[in-house]
Amino acid sequence: MRTLIRPTGFVDSPFGHDGKVARLAGGLMWFAQCELIHPDGTRELMPVDGIEDCFDDAMAADWRRLTSARAPLQLGERTIRLDQPQVMGILNVTPDSFSDGGTYADSNEAAFAGADMTTAGAAILDIGGESTRPGAKSVWEGDEIERVLPVVQRLAAGGNAVSIDTRKAAVAEAALGAGAHLVNDVSAMTYDERMAEVVATSGAPVILMHHRGDPQTMQDDPRYADVLAEVFHWLEERIAAAVAAGIARDRMIVDPGIGFGKTVAHNLALLNGLALFHGLGCPIVLGASRKRMIGALANEAPANQRLAGSIALAVKAAEQGAQIIRVHDVPETVQALKVWRGLRDQALTPRLA
């Protein structure tokens, strides 16, 4: 264990603050302070100015990762820049997903819906054939392949950037063979021991998501001493395991796993402290769209009435420097982020005398 560095004290622009602010992961956010999270659980607030004087080697390495730019993702014909937030559209071709189960079970309807998401501004389409909502049962890999393959083939052939959302190596292998460009594994390659081999051989990027337990048990009284630090260290271990399996670190994306073995309080803590995870040196994907925490905070609103809450969380993620925001409601989220981007662009425009 070591002291972790959480960027905070965000400022509108770096102008006039030379040496007093740092840029977060090469993106649109600058920060003037850091919260140091020590191994004993104590926290210390420090200004960026002079902070490097207190670093040991491990903290210096974390600082370099926090402040270095993230390379673009090359997904088929599409280059996805990561110096600004991008939208990943969720396309569940399942009968039982928590929010849109059954909506896109027909492959033709799913393909048209995916194309519409790209037109609306989604940079990546995330296609899943198995629900991982709390309480969901596992799906046989043959059924999962049958659900996702026609949709992957059509959307990839149309020039879309396609992600396959699966825990199973056979499904990932089939989807990558059909044109998918990215693997989104909610188990961080712990569910299927062959997944790391499939990803390493393919050369595709992979999303490693934190979770605790499986979908049937993950919400049975999850507990953490410090959810931010524990999720950070768990993801760090998964990154090390992926490197050992032959996957380059610059092909990894991390996800703190909102709702996967967390209470509402845990989820809120992760969102408030999301900037910490830039210290892993990988792009961050945040998936909080329509999730249970929104209903818990808003009079038990059902999943199909959580748009406003989903947008609030998407903007919060952008303000913490998240590079990829995974959502159901693509047009509305893209519009919200365009307005957010307009505010950032104005703040980052030098004022002339």
Residue of 291, 292, 306, 344 with catalytic role: 291
- Reduced to 3 states (helix: H, G, I; strand: E, B; else coil), residue 125 is strand
pLDDT tens digits, residue range 114-127?
999 999 999 999 99
Domain 73-346 in CATH: superfamily? Dihydropteroate synthase-like (3.20.20.20)
267/13 Cα distance (integer angstroms): 29
Annotated active-site residue 262? The verdict is no
Query: Among residues of the chain, what percentage have pLDDT more than 70?
Result: 93
The predicted pLDDT at position 337 comes to 98
What does the block give as tokens for 183? 């693997």
* 203/180 Cα distance (integer angstroms): 12
Does 1 have pLDDT greater than 90? no
Residue corresponding to tokens 């997904």:
75
Quote the CA–CA distance of 182 and 180 in Å, as a whole number.
6
pLDDT band at 223 (very low <50, low <70, confident <90, very high): confident
Q: Are 321 and 29 in contact (CB under 8 A)?
A: yes
Task: Tell me the average pLDDT across 36-53.
Answer: 96
What distance, in Å, lies between the first and last C-alpha atoms of the chain?
49
As a whole number of angstroms, the distance between CA 80 and CA 101 comes to 28
Alpha carbon separation from 86 to 116, 337, 345 (Å, rounded) = 16, 9, 16
CA distances to 48, 99, 110, 119, 203 from 270, rounded to whole Å, are: 22, 22, 32, 31, 30
The C-alpha R_g of the chain, in whole angstroms, comes to: 20
Q: Is 291 strand, coil or helix?
A: coil
Per-residue pLDDT reduced to its tens digit, 170-181? 999 999 999 999
316 is known as an active-site residue: no
Q: What is the pTM of this model?
A: 0.93
Model pLDDT for residues 238-249, shown as the tens digit of each residue? 999 999 999 999
The one catalytic residue in 147, 212, 326, 344 is 326
Question: What whole-number distance in Å separates Cα of residue 210 and Cα of residue 226?
Answer: 14
Q: How confident is the model over 9-30, as pLDDT tens digits? A: 999 999 999 999 999 999 999 9
Q: Is residue 229 classed exposed, middle or buried when 0-12, 13-18 and 19+ CB atoms within 10 A define those classes?
A: buried
Whether 216 has a pLDDT exceeding 70, the answer reads no
Domain ranges of the chain: 4-67, 73-346
| Dihedral pair phi/psi, residue 83, rounded to 5° | -90, 10
